[in-house]
A and B are shown apart, each in its own frame.
Chain A
C-alpha cells in the first residue's frame, strides 16, 4: 500500500506540475515579484516627475517671513528623517499666473499679514495637490507662524534657536527583553509582515484548488471507482494531502527564487540601502525571527495539511464542477478573514478579540505569527494555537474520513447532507 501511496502522490504532483497553467501562473508570478522588487527602477525608467522635489515660489509680502520659512523647511527634513528637503524654495516677485505658466508643476505661495497681524498664506497651484505635500507645507507654515510669534515676544535668539530645534524623544522600555533601538525595526516589520504573508494566502488557494479539482475530476470521470477498488479512501486522501503540500512547498521555493532574482537585479540596477538592512541584522528582531520563523512554519505546514484535508472532504461531496467551484468559497473566505485580521492586528493592538481569533485553526497560521512579531502574544500562546491545529487535523481525519469514504462514491446530490450526516455518525 505504501508503494501505491507513493505512486498516487507522484502522479498527483506530476499532473499539477506538468500543466500549462502551472507554467503560465509561474511566469506571471516571476514577472510580478521581480517587478515589484524593482518597481522604483521600472517607474523611473518610464520617466515622470513623481520623485522630483517640489519647487515652491514664494512671494513674501511681509518681507520678514521668507528666511524663517527656509529655516523651517530645513528643519522639517530632520523631523521626517529624509535626506532631502521637502521643498525647494525660491523667492519671487512675479505673479502666480506668470510662474505657473512657465512651470505647471510649481507651487506659488503668497505670504501676507492678516488683520490680527499674523501671517496668512495662499497656495496657488495648477492642479490638485497630494495629501503628503499638503500636510508638509501646512506643518512648515505653522512652525513659521509659531516662530515669528515667539520671535516677536522678545525671547533671546539663543533661546529661540533651542525652542525651534526639533524635539528628540528618548525611548525607555522597562521590559528587559526589549530594546529601544529595535523599536523602529519592530514598526517596520509590522508593516512588512502583511506583505510577507500574501504568498501564504495565494498558496492556500493553490492547495485547495489542487486537491479539490483532482478529486472532482476523478469523481466526475468515474475513475474514482477504479482507484478506490485498488487503494483505500484513506490512502487516496493522504496521497492528495501529501502531493498538495509538496506542491505548495515547491511553489514556495519558486517564489523565493523569483524574489532572489528580483533582489539580484535590484542590486545591479539600483543598490539597496545597506543601512536599513544592517540595522535589521544587528537588531534583536533577527534573533527573534530564529524562533518566530520555525513556529510560523510549523503553523503554516499544519494549516496547509488541515486545508488539504478539508478541501478533500468537501470535494468528495461534490458531484459536478459547479459544486466544486462553490465548495471553494467558504475556504477562500476563511483564509481571507485570517489575512485581513493579520493586517488589522497592528491597528487594534491589545484587542482580546483578535488574540482569541489567533488560536482558531485555519486562520492562526497568519494571525498568530503576526501577533507574535508585534509582541502581542507570547510563544506559549502560539504553542496553544499549534496544539489546537493538531487536534483539528485529528478530528478532520477521524470524522471527515467517514464523509470522504461515502462522498467519493456518491454521484447524486439528492439528500446529500442527510447522507453525509449519516456517514458522520458512522
Chain B
C-alpha cells in the first residue's frame, strides 16, 4: 500500500504541497487532480523519490521510498522522457536495466508489449523517428516494462487517438487487476470518472476534495435532470432551486440545487408533450471540479 502522510513541500518560501495525506491500496486506481501548478507533479516527484518532502513521510508497503525500492515503481512523466537518439530496443534495455532487470527478461517483456500495443515494427527504430502518438506508446511501455507495483501516470493519454486511448485504459485496468497501485492525473476528467474509484483534488498544494468517487458525487447536492420532449422551459426556470435550463441536441439539461427540487420539475415536465425521457443524473466530475476549484481543469 502507498501511504502519503502529512506531506509538505517547500520551494524556498513557496509551499508547493501543503500537509497532503492519502493512501492507495493494491489494485486501486487513484486520480490526483488539480490545475497546472496545483502540486501534482511535485507530489509525483516526491513519490518516486526525485524530491524529498520538507515534512511528512511517504511509504510503499511500510518502507520509505528510496533507491532500494524504486525498481518496483513505474513512472510516466507528463513531458516525453525518452532518449530520442536511442532505438526503442536500446531504450528498453536502458530503462529496464535501471530497474534491475536482466537483458533477456527486458527483451521478452518488450516483445510482448510491442505486440500488445501493435508497434512491433518500431523495435529497432530511433525514438526521434516516431510520431507523437507512437512515442507516447513507447513511453508507456517503458513505464510498465518492470511490471510495477506502483505505477504513476502523469497525463498518460496525451497525444493519443481514441483507439489508442482505449488500448491504454485496458492495460491500466489489467495492471490494477493484477494488484498494481496506480496513481494518475489526466486533463480528461471523463477518463478519471471511468477509471478511478478514489480521487483527490489539489488546489494550491492543498487537498480540497478527496474520497471515493461515488461518495463525492453523492455528497455533491447539485443534480442534473435530462429531459427529451416538448416542455415549458420558462415555467421550469421559475422554480426556486433550478439553476439553469439548456437545450442541447434536442435534450434539456436542467441543473438543480438539490434533490428537493426534482418533484416540482417533474410536475411541470409531465404537462409537456412527447416526453420520452426524464432522468435524474449525478453531476459530472467536471462540474464538481469547476465548482470546487473555481476554474476549469484545462486552464
Task: Name A's B-contacting residues (CB within 8 A).
Answer: 1, 3-4, 7-8, 11, 15, 217-218, 221-232, 409, 422
Contact = CB atoms under 8 A, between A and B. Distances in A.
Contact of A223 (B50, B67, B82, B97): B82
A226 B75 CA distance: 7
Interface hub of B71, B73, B75, B81 (most chain A Cβ within 10 A): B81
B81 A1 contact: no
A107 B98 CA distance: 76
Contacts of B73: 229
Given A4-B98, A7-B98, A422-B12, A226 B70 contact: no
B138 interface: no
Contacts of B82: 221, 223
Nearest to A4: B98
Interface in B37-94: 45, 48-51, 67, 70-71, 73, 75, 77, 79-85, 94
A222 B135 CA distance: 13
Contacts of A226: 75, 77, 81, 95, 98, 142
Nearest to A418: B12
A222 B79 contact: yes
A232 B67 contact: yes
Contacts of A228: 50
Given A3-B100, A11-B94, A222-B79, A229 B84 contact: no
A226 B85 CA distance: 16
A422 B142 CA distance: 34
A51 to B, nearest CB: 50
B6 to A, nearest CB: 23
User: What 5 pairs between A and B have smallest CB-CB spacing?
Assistant: A230-B98, A222-B81, A229-B48, A223-B83, A222-B79
B83 A229 contact: no
Interface in B82-129: 82-85, 94-95, 97-100
Contacts of A222: 77, 79-81
A229 B100 CA distance: 13
Contacts of A11: 94
A221 B50 contact: no
B95 to A, nearest CB: 6
Contacts of B67: 1, 230-232
Nearest to B77: A225
Nearest to A230: B98
A217 B127 CA distance: 14
Contacts of A231: 67, 98
Given A7-B97, A222-B77, A222-B80, 13 more contacts: A4-B97, A15-B85, A217-B85, A221-B82, A222-B79, A225-B77, A225-B81, A228-B50, A229-B75, A230-B70, A409-B45, A409-B51, A422-B12
Contact of A229 (B12, B50, B97): B50
A241 B94 CA distance: 18
A102 to B, nearest CB: 66
A231 B48 CA distance: 11
A215 to B, nearest CB: 12
A218 B75 contact: no
Nearest to A223: B83
Interface hub of A4, A218, A223, A231 (most chain B Cβ within 10 A): A223
Contacts of A221: 80-84
A126 B150 CA distance: 87
16 contacts: A1-B67, A4-B100, A8-B98, A221-B81, A221-B84, A222-B77, A223-B82, A224-B81, A225-B50, A225-B75, A228-B50, A229-B48, A229-B49, A230-B99, A231-B98, A409-B51
A222 B70 CA distance: 18
A226 B82 CA distance: 9
Interface hub of A3, A221, A226, A227 (most chain B Cβ within 10 A): A226
A226 B146 CA distance: 13
B132 to A, nearest CB: 14
Nearest to B73: A229
A229 B45 CA distance: 8
Contacts of B50: 225, 228-229, 409
Given A1-B67, A230-B70, A409-B50, A223 B81 contact: yes
Nearest to A8: B98
Contacts of B79: 222
A226 B71 CA distance: 11
Contacts of B97: 4, 7
Contacts of A223: 81-83
Contacts of B77: 222, 225-226
Given A229-B73, A232-B67, A218 B83 contact: yes
A422 B14 CA distance: 14
B143 to A, nearest CB: 8
Nearest to B79: A222
A230 B148 CA distance: 13
A224 B77 CA distance: 11
Contacts of B98: 4, 7-8, 226-227, 230-231
B183 to A, nearest CB: 14
A134 B153 CA distance: 80
A229 B65 CA distance: 10
Contacts of A422: 12
Contacts of A409: 45, 50-51
A221 B91 CA distance: 13
Interface hub of B71, B77, B98 (most chain A Cβ within 10 A): B98
Contacts of A232: 67
Contacts of A8: 98
Interface hub of A217, A221, A224, A231 (most chain B Cβ within 10 A): A221
Contacts of A224: 81
Contacts of B75: 225-226, 229
A7 B98 CA distance: 8
B270 to A, nearest CB: 58
Nearest to B75: A229
A42 B152 CA distance: 64
Contact of A230 (B45, B71, B80, B83): B71
Contacts of B85: 15, 217
